[in-house]
Structure 1
Amino acid sequence: MTADVSHSAPAWPSPLRDLARQLPQHDRLCIAFSGGLDSSLLLHLFAAITPASIALSALHINHQLQPNAAEVDAFCRDVCARLSVPLRVVSVTVPVKAEGVGGLEQAARAARYGVFEQYLRADELLLLAHHGDDQLETVLFRLFRGSGVAGLAGMPFTRALCARALARPLLEFSRAQLEAWAEGAGLPWMEDPSNSDQRFDRNYLRNSVIHR
């Protein structure tokens, strides 16, 4: 969906407005902004509910793997400009023929977290837009890979990231809930064309197991 950014502030439901109070203590917030549905909702939400005393910014990582990467870059810049949220865009090189456990998906994740560790400030809290469906995929993914009990616990709401910290405030919501709220608010987002590629383990779980 690529609707125009709404000129009026959405009436965010209370479960979303309450998220700010659940976060660890912080002076600065950074939204990991991919341009997709989940991170677009997260960005618009925190642009609306973050007090002026907290410095808010966004970080877009271009993995240079999709044919529309330049279009997504431009989209992210435009959205952040309209919201007056400073944006840093970082391009990374992911080995297309990545081998080993996780393959290309794991290589992209490693590149992404390398950027987080390099560019985030020590006093900055990173917000990721993982939701409840992502959590289920993670647990199933680890189960199929033979993870132990600790791995089956799934993604934590918060965790350390070197000298920094990250949080996943949307974990308690399903993607269907987020999409309904985003559409109701008239938010724009870009679809990732790789989401339907069954060659990726998580896409197979999402499309052929969870939502079959």
Structure 2
Amino acid sequence: MALARLFKRQLAAAKLLSPAKTVIVAVSTGVDSMVLLTLLQQLPIQQRPQLIVAHVNHQLRRQSAQEAAYLRTYCDQHQLPLRLVDWPIDAHPKTGVEAAARQFRYDFFATVLKTTGADAVLTAHHANDQAETYLMKLARGGELAQLTGMATNRAFHGKQLVRPLLPFAKATLRDYAVTNGLTWFEDVTNQDITLTRNRIRQRVVPELTVVNPAFLQHVAAYQAQLQALLTAQAQMMTQLLPTVMTEKNALSVAAFTQVLTTWQVPVLQTWLTQRTGQVWSTDKLTPWHHWILNEQQPTGQLNIDAHWQLVKAAGIIDVCPHKKRVKKLRPVEKNMVDLNQWQKITATQTAGVFEQPPTPTSQPFPIRPTDWPLSWRPWQPQDQLTLKGGGHQLVRRILIDQKVPVTQRPLAMVLVNAQGTVLWLVGYKVSYRDPQTAAQTVFLALKKQTESKGAHLKR
């Protein structure tokens, strides 16, 4: 029979057509999974993999217990190992039952896969399932990649999840079951057309099949073509992305604008996904794309969700977590420097003023008696450091020149003397002072959370 021949071809493609292989067969006792199990059993002994039947009693219908009992008897009669689990009723959620049941089911398959050392899990999804999923996603809207549908073979917990019946129509499987006298159970909930999938299954797919009997094959063909195009796009992104990224993995606006307009949004999407680990929808990307290209707004920040923001400055686009609040420092009167003590001045910085250098990178600094007491505080817009030639440089300009990200600049701290004069922009630059005018030399030192040594300081 053509079905059996093509089925063998599917197993051969997955390299499972061998008695040296072991497969877990997901069986619900519906017609599709009973056909899958029967096809496997009817393979020639020299090609048949070792079979382990896996069944989940979801306890969602009255006949669930009857189905589980039937499968036990069937496996005993055919000497098939059976792994069966109940989904406890008290574990059923009040909403999203279908998604929760699927998660429980696949978690169970993964457990059986691990404990038995099997090579693959086989499920009985078929062409109608594929078309239903395609139409549901098409109706809901979303990303083009979502329309590629279920893969015949995909990775699953280090092994394979294979759907060898995916090329076959439901009618073909039912005809096979009737011809071979198989016993199966009908899920009565499949007739409930208030459920979206059932409505598509019972009404939409049959109508489209009347319009064109080759509808299912056309869906499969479109999905294969779409997958090929998406693969080509991914390869193009691999080539384009390095040409627009800086050494610190930000985006260069100048380089980005040189990319063909058609590719700019896919490049932005790929870059954001790589940087954040999230998938971003195209409809959201379009306004962000316009914002990046807006020459009237060369700097700024754009919140893109509850966790991330785009930052534009100096011809560079970066994506950063939302600015976290720095842990509040102690009240001002308690922010005074404790000589020879490390002090936590922000959530990520620990600094100190010492009479002897605590680390090899500690910076000597001349101190006058009138400087005491010294204090730590956040920098202010008017703050400036003294330069060696007698001039001054604003703290704001130092942070810009050292290319400190916009989101990090407000977090910078300064060390000031009793008169409020800035002596040290912590972690970035020390104010110049003639050693001949000082009575004492102290050592400025900084530790960050990721460092065990003091940071280098710049004059």
Give the SS at the match of 1:126. strand
Aligned counterparts of 1:59 and 1:149: Cα–Cα separation in 2: 34
Structure 1: state its 5+ residue gaps: 1-9
Residues 12-27 of structure 1 mapped to structure 2, 5 A cutoff: 13-25=4-16, 27=21
CA distance in 1, matches of 2:163, 2:3: 18
- Label 1:50 to 1:142 Cα distance change in 2 as closer, same or farther (>3 A): farther
Partner of 1:79: 74
Letter in 2 for 1:71: Q
Which secondary structure state, in structure 1, belongs to the residue aligned with residue 36 of structure 2? helix
- 1:127 and 2:122 equivalent? yes
Tell me which residue corresponds to 2:62: 67
Task: Tell me, in whole angstroms, the C-alpha distance in 2 between the residues paired with 1:50 and 1:70.
Answer: 33
Partners in 2 of 1:147 and 1:157 — Cα distance?
22
8 Å CA contact 1:33–1:43 kept in 2: the answer is yes
How many percent of aligned residue pairs carry the same amino acid? Answer: 36
Q: Report if the CA contact (8 A) 2:83-2:112 is conserved.
A: no
Aligned residue identity for 1:150: A
TM-score (norm 2): 0.41
Please name the residue that 1:142 is paired with. 137
Correspondence 1:39-188 to 2 at 5 A: 39-49=33-43, 51=45, 54-93=49-88, 95-98=92-95, 103-121=96-114, 122-188=117-183
How far is 1:193 from its partner?
1.4
Where do 5+ consecutive residues of structure 2 fail to align?
A: 208-459
SS in structure 2 opposite 1:188?
coil
| Deviates most, 171-180 or 74-83 | 74-83
TM-aligned CA distance change 1:11 to 1:167, over 3 Å: closer
Residue 189 (structure 2) aligned to one of 190, 194, 199? 194
Q: Secondary structure at the match of 1:172?
A: coil
The CA distance in 2 between the partners of 1:105 and 1:138, in whole Å, is 14
Partner SS, residue 159 of structure 1? strand
Give the CA deviation at 1:145: 2.4
Larger Rg: 2
Give TM-score scaled by structure 1 length: 0.85
Which residue identity lines up with residue 11 of structure 2 in the other structure? A
Give me the whole-angstrom Cα distance separating, in 2, the residues matched to 1:211 and 1:130.
18
Contact 2:4–2:39 (Cα < 8 Å) also in 1? no
CA distance 1:12–1:81, shift in 2 (3 Å):
farther
Partner of 2:25: 31
